């Protein structure tokens, strides 16, 4: 929107902006923010920055936690959420070294920068584009409680089939009957698609604020699952757009009396929510993933990139699927991948090559395991690093036994299952995998050992906390023994 202080100042005056809001990301992927009156916004602030406590973001220890964020003026947008006219912009994180500032090597946004630079230095490509699909549930009510004597969760959606006899959500206490059956939500039309107007409002806000949308639609899950797919963008830019999408989606839903969850598996018997990531590479503006004579019209470099992703699939999950809930989605039968393989148009494979991409400039593949509990900068950077490793080391996915498998991988015989590898079945298994396999991430200094260690430490704490809390199903199974 703006490239310098003068341009932004003119825009601020034009729009009557009263507040400047700065957003910084933590290790888990949540935005934090700090705001100032517009009168305090100066050109000096863009170089001097604002100090904050890095330990509260999961980056530094308490005894040495002072950090500085410096706003990226190119990320500024007119924030559609606050009532008072507000400009929001993303901050880059710096550490303090003696009398100067240095980019903090574990700032997720800087990791994204380093990954893009490493790709260019490799000579493989000068541009990698990412196209994520965001699945999530729009709900009417969400309640949870974790107490010593009470563990419960209650989710509700007006369109869910369990409300077919309930009139609480309808005018004049009369049920209109149009409820979406379990697993029957995919592309369902009005009047079933009760969230259509809300999604349209969200999409228009995304378009107006630098996050172009490819399309949106109802997804498979009956209790309000939807999908928004963004247009392709570079790694760091897509990280920014991902954060902006989640921010706008959640806040717009709340303004309209709804709530949203990007949790991978909020309903145990319904479709989970993933964040499938499409990948393209170009060099000198020419696509390098296309070869009309290759498998599914993929070039050898594209196949090598797939080989890298599949070889490192287990380790990647620490950054692409970093929640205990992630692994409740990755089970057979819900269009979520469980088998480490690749194929064309096969949604049971970890890597799917869309069958409808027949033009060279459209040729791509889709990495299906990720979900939106991931920090997007780290997720996309890790995916890119695995792909680069595959190309640099010429990892042939077929030679490694990864396929192609043009069959339903959920219906393998016991003998066939022995011949293929499966994704980790738990977050603990993923942590074990990355502790053995992380050199590909550290190439070029992109991921440091410290950020890998910090991520694993954080996830181990989550695992320990979740594991020690009794589950309601355990009472069902064991209370009377």
CATH of the domain at 231: 3.30.590.10
Are residue 326 and residue 463 in the same domain, yes or no? yes
pLDDT score of 169: 59
Domain membership flag for residue 391 = yes
pLDDT at residue 63, as a whole number: 41
Q: Whose CA is closest to 436, among 309, 327, 312, 304?
A: 312
> Which of the following is catalytic: 24, 116, 193, 219?
219
Query: Does the active-site annotation cover 461?
Result: no
- Chosen domain end from 50, 70, 103: 103
Is 105 one of the catalytic residues?
no
- Domain assignment of residue 118, yes or no: no
99 and 142 inside one domain: no
| Ranges under pLDDT 70 in the chain | 1, 60-65, 166-174
Q: What letter would DSSP give residue 420?
A: S
Structure tokens given for 198:
């809300």
Assign residue 63 the CATH number of its domain.
3.10.20.70
Q: Do 410 and 458 fall within a single domain? A: yes
For residues 63 and 451, give the distance between their C-alpha atoms in angstroms, rounded to a whole number: 18
**DSSP E strand boundaries for 98-168:** 100-103, 127-139, 141-147, 150-156
What does the alpha-carbon distance between residue 319 and residue 27 come to, in Å, rounded to a whole number? Answer: 10
pLDDT of residue 427: 98
CB within 8 Å of 478: residues ≥ 6 apart: none
Residue 109 lies in a domain: no
CA angle, 34 as apex, 28 and 39 as ends, to 5°? 155
- Residue among 133, 193, 270, 371 flagged as catalytic: 133
Q: Which of 106, 236, 368, 389 is catalytic?
A: 368
The DSSP bridge partners found for residue 50 are 69
Residue 179 inside a domain? The answer is yes
How far, in Å, CA of 354 to CA of 131, rounded? 13
Strand bridging mode 77-78 / 150-156: unpaired
At residue 62, the pLDDT reads 42
- In the residue annotation, 256 being an active-site residue is answered as no
331 & 448 share domain: yes
Range(s) of the domain holding residue 328:
127-478
In a domain, 309, yes or no: yes
Instruction: Identify whether 97 is a catalytic site residue.
Output: no
- Is there a contact between 142 and 155 (Cβ–Cβ < 8 Å)? yes
Query: Which among 67, 87, 103 is the end of a domain?
Result: 103
Active site residue 135: yes
pTM, two decimal places: 0.95
155 shares a domain with 38: no
> What six digits make up the tokens of 311?
């070889």
Same domain, yes or no: 395 and 343: yes
Q: Is 276 a catalytic residue?
A: yes
> Which residue of the set 24, 107, 116, 227 is catalytic?
227
Residue 297 lies in a domain: yes
Catalytic residue among 106, 193, 366, 371: 366
Other residues' Cβ atoms within 10 Å of the Cβ of residue 199: 21
81 and 136 housed in the same domain: no
**Residue 227 is among the residues annotated as catalytic for this protein:** yes
- In the set 24, 106, 107, 135, the catalytic residue is 135
Same domain flag for 76 and 195: no
From CA 106, how far away is CA 124, in angstroms rounded? 25
The active-site residue, picked from 109, 216, 276, 312, is: 276
- Annotated catalytic residue: which of 6, 43, 53, 208? 53
The CA angle 392-426-349, to the nearest 5 degrees, is 50
Verify that 34 and 141 share a domain, yes or no: no
155 and 215, same domain (yes or no): yes
Contact 211, 245 (CB under 8 A): yes
How many angstroms separate the CA atoms of 50 and 21, rounded? 12
Q: Are residues 425 and 346 in the same domain?
A: yes
Let me know if residue 266 belongs to a domain: yes
Residue 418 lies in a domain: yes
Of the residues 347, 396, 400, 432, only one is catalytic, namely: 347
Q: Are residues 149 and 37 in the same domain?
A: no
For residues 250 and 136, give the distance between their C-alpha atoms in angstroms, rounded to a whole number: 10
Please count the structural domains in the chain: 2
Of 103, 138, 162, the position where a domain reaches its end is 103
Residue with tokens 């970890």: 350
- State the Cα–Cα distance between residues 136 and 371, nearest whole angstrom: 10
pLDDT score at 100: 82
């Amino acid at each position: 929107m703006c490239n310098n202080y003068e341009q932004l100042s003119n825009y601020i005056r034009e729009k009557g902006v009263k507040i400047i809001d700065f957003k910084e990301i933590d290790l888990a992927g949540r935005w934090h923010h700090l705001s100032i009156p517009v009168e305090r916004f100066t050109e000096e602030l863009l170089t001097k920055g604002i100090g904050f406590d890095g330990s509260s973001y999961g980056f530094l220890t308490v005894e040495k936690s002072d950090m500085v964020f410096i706003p990226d003026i190119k990320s500024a947008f007119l924030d559609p959420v606050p009532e008072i006219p507000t400009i929001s912009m993303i901050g880059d994180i710096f550490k303090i070294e003696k009398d100067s500032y240095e980019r903090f090597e574990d700032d997720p946004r800087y990791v994204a920068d380093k990954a893009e630079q490493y790709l260019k230095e490799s000579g493989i490509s000068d541009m990698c584009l990412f196209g994520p699909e965001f699945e999530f549930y729009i709900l009417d009510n969400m309640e949870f409680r974790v107490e010593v004597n009470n563990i419960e969760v209650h989710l509700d959606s007006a369109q869910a089939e369990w409300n077919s006899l309930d009139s609480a959500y309808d005018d004049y206490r009369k049920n209109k009957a149009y409820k979406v059956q379990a697993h029957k939500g995919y592309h369902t039309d009005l009047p079933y698609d009760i969230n259509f107007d809300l999604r349209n409002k969200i999409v228009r806000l995304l378009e107006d604020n630098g996050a172009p949308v490819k399309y949106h639609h109802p997804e498979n899950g009956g209790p309000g699952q939807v999908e928004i797919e963004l247009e392709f963008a570079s790694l760091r830019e897509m990280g920014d757009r991902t954060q902006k999408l989640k921010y706008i989606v959640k806040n717009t839903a709340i303004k309209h009396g709804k709530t949203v969850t990007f949790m991978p598996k909020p309903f145990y018997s319904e479709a989970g929510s993933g964040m499938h990531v499409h990948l393209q590479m170009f060099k000198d503006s020419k696509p390098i993933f296309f070869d009309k004579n290759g498998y599914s019209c993929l070039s050898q470099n594209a196949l090598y990139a797939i080989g890298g992703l599949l070889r490192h699939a287990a380790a990647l999950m620490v950054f692409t699927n970093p929640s205990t809930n992630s692994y409740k989605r990755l089970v057979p039968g819900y269009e979520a991948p469980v088998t480490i393989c690749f194929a064309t148009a096969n949604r049971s494979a970890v890597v799917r090559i869309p069958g409808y991409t027949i033009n060279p400039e459209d040729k791509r593949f889709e990495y299906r395991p990720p979900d939106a509990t991931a920090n997007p900068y780290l997720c996309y950077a890790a995916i890119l690093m695995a792909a680069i490793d595959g190309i640099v080391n010429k990892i042939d996915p077929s030679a490694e036994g990864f396929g192609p498998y043009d069959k339903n991988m959920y219906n393998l015989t016991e003998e066939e299952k022995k011949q293929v590898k499966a994704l980790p079945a738990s977050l603990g298994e993923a942590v074990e995998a990355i502790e053995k396999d992380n050199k590909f991430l550290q190439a070029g200094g992109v991921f440091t050992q410290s950020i890998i260690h910090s991520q694993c430490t954080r996830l181990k704490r989550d695992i320990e906390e979740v594991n020690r809390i009794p589950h309601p199903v355990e009472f069902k199974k064991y209370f009377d023994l």
